Amino acid sequence: MTVRMPHQLFINGQFVDAEGGKTYQTINPNDGTAICSVSLAQVSDVDKAVAAAKEAFENGEWGKMNPRDRGRLIYKLADLMEEHQEELATIESIDSGAVYTLALKTHIGMSIQTFRYFAGWCDKIQGCTIPINQARPNRNLTFTKREPIGVCAIVIPWNYPLMMLAWKTAACLAAGNTVVLKPAQVTPLTALKFAELTVKAGFPKGVVNILPGAGSLVGQRMSDHPDIRKLGFTGSTPIGKQIMKSCALSNVKKVSLELGGKSPLIIFSDCDMDKAVRMGMSSVFFNKGENCIAAGRLFVEESIHDLFVKRVKRLSCRIPQVEEVKKMKTGDPLDRATDHGPQNHKAHLDKLVQYSQVGQKEGATLVCGGKQVPRPGFFFEPTVFTNVEDHMYIAKEESFGPIMIISKFKEGDVDGVLKRANDTEFGLASGVFTRDINKAMYVSEKLQAGTVFVNTYNKTDVASPFGGFKQSGIGKDLGEEALNEYLKTKAVTIEY
C-alpha cells in the first residue's frame, strides 16, 4: 500500500505552512524513527483559522445551509472515510502505535459510525412550545429555538486520534458550527488526512480547520480567543482545569471536558469466571492501556482472588476461549497477528516504567511485567500488580498504560467495596461482574461514575452518552446529549 498524508496546517480549505515555516518531526513509536515533518502552528495561525471559521459561520455558505443538506455533506464525508479506511488505519497505526486490526475496527470504524449517526441528527434539531402565564385579553406564544453556537475549538488527545476527533467534531458540525481543531502534537496525521477528505466531500472553506501544535501555545490561544464561543477538550484533569479557568477569564466560553479516570471494576465470586477474566484483561490492556475508561483498579472478592490472578497471568485477552492458552504477542502494530503494540511516545513509556517502580517500592506484589521490552521502539510489558492497598500511589493515580492493579475485598462486603471504589476524585467509568441481578442493580446505582458496565466492559456506542462525574469532567460526547454541548437555546415570546 502506498500511503499519503498531508503534513501542513489546514486553514480555510487549504493546506498551508505555519507562520515562519516552523515544523517538527512526528515519531513512529514502533521503532523511534521520524515519519515526516509536520507544520507547527503558532498563535498567529490560530487567529487566521478562527477568522476563517467565523467568516464561514457568519457570512459563508455553511451558515446559510439547509440542515438536510448539511447532513448530506456529513454522510458523504463518512462514505469517503469508509472508502479510505485501510489507509486511515495504517496512518493511525504508524503514528499512534495502535494495533492495525484494532485501529481498523475501533479507531476508524467507530469514527465512521459517529459521523453517520450525527449526520442523521442534522434535520432533527428542534425546539418546543411552552405555555406561559397570560392575562386576557392578550395571548402569548412562547417557543424555543436551538441554534449553533458559532466558532468552536476542539482539543483532542493522542490515544484515539481520529476517534476523539469524530466524537466531538461530528456533533459540532451537525449542530451547524464551524471548527478549529488541535490534534495532539504527537499524533497529527489522521486529523490532517481527515481534513483532506472534507475537501473531497465538498465542505465549504473555513468550516473545518486543523492546527497541529503545542498545547501551551495553540491550545492556550484557543482558550483565550474572544471569537471562540465553545471549547471541547479531552485530556488530563490538570490541563482541563487550566482550560476551564482560561475560558472563564477570556469570554466565559462554553466548555465540555472529558478528563482523567481511575475506573473501578468489582468482580464478585458469583461471576462467570471465564468471562470476568477475559473482560477484566480487556478492560486494562485494550489499546495498550491507553484508554480513558480502562479499569484502573480491579476489586476481586477474596474467595476467587488467587484463582483470578492465576488465570490472568497465563491468558491472552485476544483468544475467544479461555482454554486456549498462549501469550499476548507484542510487536509491530502493522503485523496482523500482533496483540500488543508500542506505547504512544517515549515520555509516556518512561512514566509507565516509573509508575511500576513506585508500585514495587510501596510494597505491591509485581506478578509480571513492569519493564520496557528490550527491542527498538516504545514497548512496555503487560503488567499485573496484586496486594495493592488503598493508600498506595498506584491505587489512586491513573497509569494510562497496560498495568492491571488488583485488590481483594472481604467476602460479601458489598457496601465496603463500594466505599473503596468510590473513594476517588475520578468518576468516568466503572464495572461489576456478578450473576446476581439484584446485586448488579444495587452496585450500578451506588457507583459514582458516568458509565457503569455490568458483566461486560469497553462497550461504548455512538448512540449512548459518554462522560464523567467529579474531576473526570463535565458534559457528554456521543448520543443525543452531545448535541447539547454545541447548541444554545433561545426563547421567543410573541404577544397577539
Residue 137: asked if its preceding bond is cis (omega within 30°), the reply is yes
Residue-level pLDDT at 321 = 35
- Pair (236, 270) in one structural domain: no
- Pair (294, 243) in one structural domain: no
**The C-alpha cell of 254 is what?**
462554553
Q: Is 3 within the bounds of a domain?
A: no
Residue-level pLDDT at 315 = 56
- Pair (183, 220) in one structural domain: yes
Q: How far is CA 100 from CA 12, 85, 105, 161, in A?
A: 32, 11, 9, 14
- Pair (134, 273) in one structural domain: no
381 in active site: no
193-249 tens-digit pLDDT: 999 999 999 999 999 999 999 999 999 999 999 999 999 999 999 999 999 999 999
- Pair (94, 223) in one structural domain: yes
Taking Cα atoms as reference points, which of 468, 28, 41 lies closest to residue 263? 468
- Pair (218, 277) in one structural domain: no
Residue-level pLDDT at 135 = 73
Alpha carbon distance 171, 118 (integer Å) = 6
Regions of the chain where pLDDT drops below 50: 316-326
Residue-level pLDDT at 318 = 40
- Pair (175, 299) in one structural domain: no
Alpha carbon distance 77, 81 (integer Å) = 6
Q: Is 26 within the bounds of a domain?
A: yes
Overall number of domains in the chain:
2
Per DSSP, the residues of 118-145 read HHTTGGG----EE-----TT--EEEEEE
- Pair (215, 304) in one structural domain: no
Q: Kindly report the CATH number assigned to the domain that includes residue 248.
A: 3.40.605.10
Domain span holding position 416: 263-462
- Pair (223, 250) in one structural domain: yes
- Pair (248, 359) in one structural domain: no
- Pair (122, 32) in one structural domain: yes
- Pair (199, 243) in one structural domain: yes
Q: Is 368 within the bounds of a domain?
A: yes
74-116 tens-digit pLDDT: 999 999 999 999 999 999 999 999 999 999 999 999 999 999 9
Measured between its terminal Cα atoms, the distance across the chain in Å is 67
Q: Is 90 within the bounds of a domain?
A: yes
Q: Is 4 within the bounds of a domain?
A: no
Residue-level pLDDT at 323 = 30
Q: Is 1 within the bounds of a domain?
A: no
Q: Is 290 within the bounds of a domain?
A: yes
Q: Kindly report the CATH number assigned to the domain that includes residue 365.
A: 3.40.309.10
**The C-alpha cell of 58 is what?**
457568519
Q: Is 2 within the bounds of a domain?
A: no
Q: Which of 55, 83, 92, 258 is catalytic?
A: 258
